Amino acid sequence: MAVRLRLMRMGKKKQPFYRVVVMDQRAPRDGRYIEQIGRYDARQDPSVVEIDNERAVDWLSKGAQPSETVEKLLNISGAMNTMKIQAGGIHVVGVETPSDEPEDASATEEDSSGEEE
């Protein structure tokens, strides 16, 4: 079964909003879906893009292919970057996490307290 991430149209006539869903590629546009992972409303200003990035990355890692529009939405939400980092497509340089109390700050406090006396 070929699985795709794509948009499912909802709303009234002339007032569309979309669900980002995981569904079989052969299913109709508004047919049965496997899982809903987000929503997209282009009519609001600015456009609303709400996507569960963890679920999107999970489905992408399982081999689901996004449609062109959904791929753009995943880039906006950051899910595609997360997927590329996990797959090794993007190299990330490690960032040093600061400790609770830096060694230099405690030494500076002792020096300044000695000067005040």
Instruction: Write out the E strands in the chain.
Output: 3-12, 15-24, 35-41, 48-51, 65-66
The contacts of residue 83 (CB under 8 Å, 6+ apart) are 56, 57, 60, 61
The total of other beta-carbon atoms located within 10 Å of residue 33's CB is 16
pLDDT at 10: 93
Q: Which stretches of the chain score pLDDT less than 70?
A: 89-92, 95-117
Question: Domains of the chain: which residue ranges?
Answer: 3-109
Cα–Cα distance, 87 to 7 (Å, whole number): 25
Which pTM was predicted? 0.70
CATH class of 3-109: alpha beta
Q: What is the pLDDT of residues 70-104, one digit of tens each?
A: 999 999 988 888 877 777 766 667 766 666 665 66
Q: Quote the pLDDT of residue 26.
A: 92
